[in-house]
Structure 1
Amino acid sequence: MAAEPRPGRLDPTGLALLLATVVGWGLNWPAMKLLLPEVPPFSIRGISATVGVLLLAAMALRRGEALAVPARVFPRLALASALNVTAWMGLASFALLWLGAGEATIVCYTVPLWATFFAYALLGERITALRLLALAMGLVGLSVLVLGNGVQAGVEKLPGVALALAAAILFSLGTVVTKRWPVPMPPAALVAWQTGLGCFPLLIGALVFDRWAVEEVSARSWLLLLYGGAVPLGLSYLAWFAALKRLPASAAAAGTLLTPVVGVVTAAIFLGEPLGAREVLALSLTIGGVVLAIRG
């Protein structure tokens, strides 16, 4: 069991695990954007999820975690899977058809802003003036992101923004629902089940709707698909749970704000996406709003 960090000092191992988590998650956004010309969205998530589920299940067994799901908690598990995985992964993937990887990352990581209202409705947490200010900052940041290059350019991005916002809102609902009605299962087993159940509809979607030439997929794309399953869906989640054991929840939550930063910067490096005043201002406003939401 990890030792408790001394007051005023964050556990170095916990910080390293948190950094590994946000880097793994952040890099997945440009990776998915690179995949889209060769692999359709449903298939991207379906193939990566299969890799991730197998890896997580193997790790759960190695750690001695039971994979059996108690019948009484299965409805909670199914609901959490639909909100935290099906909606999040499916909608966010399709948003990339209209948005750059950096733009999609910024919109999707507004989750804490929307969680404020669900926490009020389901947990009785009050909505403070600070949280209202956070929401206003986040909305201004999104406006800068969408309209900063002109109204016409913004209108063209609206389908992607709508999908990314829906992903963020439904994921925030899933987060609050899980807090209200937790699923009592070990970490690796829980993530394996959530990912498997949540991605099953996406696999069905791939079989029904996706048409792509498997033999024409490049070696780079196959490696990116493996990365999407092994790292963001597998190792990063395990690192996240390990970090939560060593760090205060507020510090861990604030640390995840590095994820959109990693996504935006790496999208500029690997995809040549713009990283100018508009992107920096939008990122600063939305992250500032999220920080206030977490503190408020």
Structure 2
Amino acid sequence: MINLNPRSIGLLCLVVTSVGWGLNWPAMKFLLKEWPPLFARGTSGLCAAALIAIVAVKAGQSLAVPHHLRGRLALAAFLNIFAWMGFSTLSMRWLNAGQGALLVYTMPVWATLMAWPFLGKRPTMSSIGGLVLCLSGIALLFAGANSGIRLDQAVGVMFALGAASLFAFGTIVLKPLPIPPLTSVTWQLLIGCLPMMLFGVVAEHPDLHALSGKGFAVMVYMTLVPMGVCYVTWFAALQRLPPALASIATLLTPVVGVLAAAVSLGEPLGIKEVLAMTLTLAGVTLALHTSRT
């Protein structure tokens, strides 16, 4: 039997998170053809919250949250769920899946910058080098698309960068809550997704009958993997790894997203995209290697 140390478990959790979230980008883009963004994402999140709550109870974890932690829990739900998922989903009304994933995953830039004033962690030359490689890959990957950012896509860009900066802020300033992880994920999904779903019902006027068999399969995937398994593994990684390292490692997500979008949606994938992904993976490798303590 293999014995894994906390750091190895954290890195494994990051791989699961990055792949699951990456595959969700083309899945969500497909679903937007049938259901509006906030209603679809909010409904999926509420279903995931119910399933995780059942798992938590079965595992013997209490769903009770101490009164003094409820304010922090609500703030975490806003930053980690409502802003991150809601804004990133809205961005895809104007951006394709690859563009959205690349812009949202500038999150490590904001996390690295925020770690200095908020945590007093001055970035090392090695971490800066890894970050530069990652961002160079993202820039080249974006430039390799057939169409760049147009003026009519500005709203989508703002939503994507808003999701990135707010999620980074939460990653840096919010320490893991001292409650069981499944309890934390359950309540964050509930608090963050309920307003999304309600706003979707009122403002987006979804047609429930528009969901096809493929759309239903996408909803099941979103519920079980990105919103269920991946949020559990993300918070588990944060309990075992430094926030900056966890943030940089999630740059694997846009690589997965671009590849999956190319295969499933026919989005661009050429020499520039492959070179860009190579740079991104090299940056992630450098960041992971030089962050060992």
- Shared topology, TM-score over 0.5? yes
CA-CA distance at 1:41 after TM superposition: 0.6
Q: Write the deviation string for residues 106-163 of structure 1: whole angstroms up to 9, x where unpaired.
A: 2222222211121112111114445555565565555545555688754444332322
- The answer to whether the 8 Å contact 2:56/2:63 transfers is yes
Structure 2 residue runs of 5 or longer lacking an equivalent are none
Partner in structure 2 of residue 213 of structure 1 = 207
- The answer to whether the 8 Å contact 2:47/2:223 transfers is yes
Partner in structure 2 of residue 118 of structure 1 = 114
Partner in structure 2 of residue 99 of structure 1 = 95
CA-CA distance at 1:212 after TM superposition: 2.7
CA-CA distance at 1:202 after TM superposition: 0.9
Partner in structure 2 of residue 235 of structure 1 = 229
Partner in structure 2 of residue 195 of structure 1 = 189
Query: For residues 166 and 243 of structure 1, what CA distance do their matches in structure 2 show?
Result: 23
CA-CA distance at 1:220 after TM superposition: 1.3
State how many pairs are aligned. Answer: 288
- Secondary structure (helix, strand or coil) at the match of 2:94 reads coil
Query: For residues 136 and 157 of structure 2, what CA distance do their matches in structure 1 show?
Result: 14
Specify whether residues 144 and 251 from structure 1 end up closer, same or farther in structure 2 by C-alpha distance, changes over 3 A only.
Answer: closer
CA-CA distance at 1:87 after TM superposition: 0.5
In the TM superposition, 1:71-90 aligns within 5 A as 71-90=67-86
Query: For residues 274 and 3 of structure 2, what CA distance do their matches in structure 1 show?
Result: 38
The amino acid across from 1:226 in the alignment is V
2:29 is the alignment partner of 1:33: yes
- The answer to whether the 8 Å contact 1:113/1:293 transfers is no
Between 271-280 and 115-124, the greater mean CA deviation after superposition: 271-280
2:47 to 38, 47, 51: 51
CA-CA distance at 1:173 after TM superposition: 0.2
The amino acid across from 1:52 in the alignment is A
1:170 to 166, 171, 175: 166
The amino acid across from 2:86 in the alignment is G
- Secondary structure (helix, strand or coil) at the match of 1:166 reads helix
Partner in structure 2 of residue 224 of structure 1 = 218
Q: Please, what is the CA RMSD of the aligned residues? A: 3.2
Between 45-54 and 214-223, the greater mean CA deviation after superposition: 214-223
CA-CA distance at 1:172 after TM superposition: 0.4
Q: Give the TM-score of the pair, scaled to structure 2.
A: 0.83
1:261 to 246, 255, 260: 255
1:270 to 264, 267, 286: 264
Specify whether residues 150 and 214 from structure 1 end up closer, same or farther in structure 2 by C-alpha distance, changes over 3 A only.
Answer: closer
